[in-house]
A = this chain, B = another copy of it.
Amino acid sequence: MDINTIATMAGVSRATVSRYLNNGYVSDEKRKRIAQIIQETGYVPSRQAQILRTGKTNVVGVIIPKINSTSISRMVSGLSKVLSAAGYQILLANTSNVAQTELKYLKLFSDTGSVDGIILSATMLTPEHVEALDNLAVPHVILGQKLDGHRCVYYDDYHAVRDVTLFALNHGSHPAFIGVTDEDTSAGLARHKGFLDACHARGIEPEARAQMVADFNVDSGYLICELLLAAYPEVDTLICATDRIAAGAMACLREYGKRIPEDVQVTGVGDSDLARVVTPTMTTVNHHYKSSGEEAARMLLDGLGKAKDSAQQVCMTYELFARGSTRWD
């Protein structure tokens, strides 16, 4: 069932059928006939042949480190909304947090011509990443990292954590930090630095025993908090790099008889559902993840010539949610 069949059935040349489907430079009579036949046969043009012929796939490749994460699924949700509205489909590549795989997909998508554009949600940008991005043959947007000379949408992790730390230090003097690996430029390094600078601003120099590293989950938060309590029992303000970690830490503190926020204040990052269902509710700071996805998508559409004049670099704003896990005046 190809365009030739339709053409002969309708008694026209296949060029006319093609025009009917695209430009539309066809007499009303033949137009009727062709519409009729297409209706009867249920003919649909071959996507692949169109792509080969036109060089346009109407697909954008989306590379993410993992799908099973609230922040990332929110981003993808935003991407999906804007891209599908513009007639694009999403080819999803899950790298399972392996940087090597990120590079693989980056080249694969670009070199084989299977996508019109790429959105890369990266946790870190190695020199290899930068090189691969520089050589990319298709328009692209980096989500979650800043890289000069490339379109990108990133988060102000530094100021976000700095702010929430300063806020908490209004009623605390022995801060501690549970972060994630500094290899993660945003969630790791920037948040850590935000914490440190906030402390310095208050004339506090956090000791090494007051700074620990956890994984991105509740259990790890609990576990590391346990270690922290042993190493630094005088802690009265606990800044965590994610809501999940903070939620685990809160469970741990409760287990050890610490009152929140009377004995220890706790803060997270993310404003996930978790933050609002724990007791007390969690003070946290929120990146606009879904909006960032939408913004990145618009940026890419700009690069594809389907939208105009969007900014090339956008730093997302954040919002501080002061709740029950920190002290008030």
Closest residue to A46 on the B side, CB-wise? Answer: B113
Please state the number of chain copies in the assembly: 2
Q: Is the CB of A73 within 8 A of B69?
A: yes
Q: Could you tell me the distance in whole angstroms from the C-beta of A169 to the nearest C-beta in chain B? A: 25
Closest residue to A96 on the B side, CB-wise? Answer: B81
Q: Which of A124-132, A172-180, A274-282 contacts B (4 or more CB under 8 A)?
A: A274-282
Q: Which of A47-55, A149-157, A158-166, A183-191 contacts B (4 or more CB under 8 A)?
A: A47-55
Q: In the complex, what residues of B have CB within 8 A of residue A113's CB?
A: 46-48
A90 to B68, CA, bound (A): 15
Q: In the complex, what residues of B have CB within 8 A of residue A59's CB?
A: 91
A290 to B67, CA, bound (A): 11
Closest residue to A221 on the B side, CB-wise? Answer: B277
Q: Is the CB of B92 within 8 A of A92?
A: yes
What is the number of residues of chain A that contact chain B, defined by CB distance less than 8 Å?
Answer: 51
Q: In the complex, what residues of B have CB within 8 A of residue A33's CB?
A: none
Q: Is the CB of A80 within 8 A of B57?
A: no
Q: Which of A201-209, A248-256, A314-322 contacts B (4 or more CB under 8 A)?
A: A248-256
Name the residue among A51, A67, A81, A92 with the largest chain B CB count within 10 angstroms: A67
Q: Could you tell me the distance in whole angstroms from the C-beta of A246 to the nearest C-beta in chain B? A: 9
Q: Could you tell me the distance in whole angstroms from the C-beta of A49 to the nearest C-beta in chain B? A: 6
A94 within 8 A of B: yes
A93 to B76, CA, bound (A): 11
Give per-residue flags for A120-155: 1 if the beta carbon is below 8 A from chain B beta carbons, else 0.
Answer: 000000000000000000000000000000000000
Q: Is the CB of A92 within 8 A of B112?
A: no
Q: Is the CB of A52 within 8 A of B48?
A: yes
Q: Is the CB of A49 within 8 A of B47?
A: no
Q: In the complex, what residues of B have CB within 8 A of residue A68's CB?
A: 70, 73-74, 76-77, 290
> Of B89, B92, B107, B274, which contacts A277 at CB under 8 A?
B274
Q: Is the CB of A44 within 8 A of B277?
A: no
Q: In the complex, what residues of B have CB within 8 A of residue A250's CB?
A: 277
Give per-residue flags for A249-281: 1 if the beta carbon is below 8 A from chain B beta carbons, else 0.
Answer: 011001000000000000000000110111100
Closest residue to A289 on the B side, CB-wise? Answer: B68
Q: In the complex, what residues of B have CB within 8 A of residue A107's CB?
A: 44
Give per-residue flags for A217-240: 1 if the beta carbon is below 8 A from chain B beta carbons, else 0.
Answer: 110000000000000000000000
A298 to B96, CA, bound (A): 19
Q: Is the CB of B279 within 8 A of A279?
A: yes
A244 within 8 A of B: yes
Beta-carbon contacts under 8 Å, A50-105 to B? 51-52, 57, 59, 62, 66-70, 73-74, 76-77, 80-81, 84, 89-94, 96
Partner-B contacts on A (CB < 8 A): 42, 44-49, 51-52, 57, 59, 62, 66-70, 73-74, 76-77, 80-81, 84, 89-94, 96, 107, 111-114, 217-218, 244, 247-248, 250-251, 254, 273-274, 276-279, 290
If A68-B74, A91-B91 are given as contacts, then 11 extra A-B residue pairs at C-beta distance below 8 Å, sorted by A number, are A48-B112, A52-B52, A62-B92, A67-B67, A67-B80, A68-B70, A89-B91, A251-B276, A273-B274, A277-B278, A278-B278
5 CB contacts below 8 A, A to B, read: A44-B107, A47-B112, A48-B48, A89-B93, A90-B93
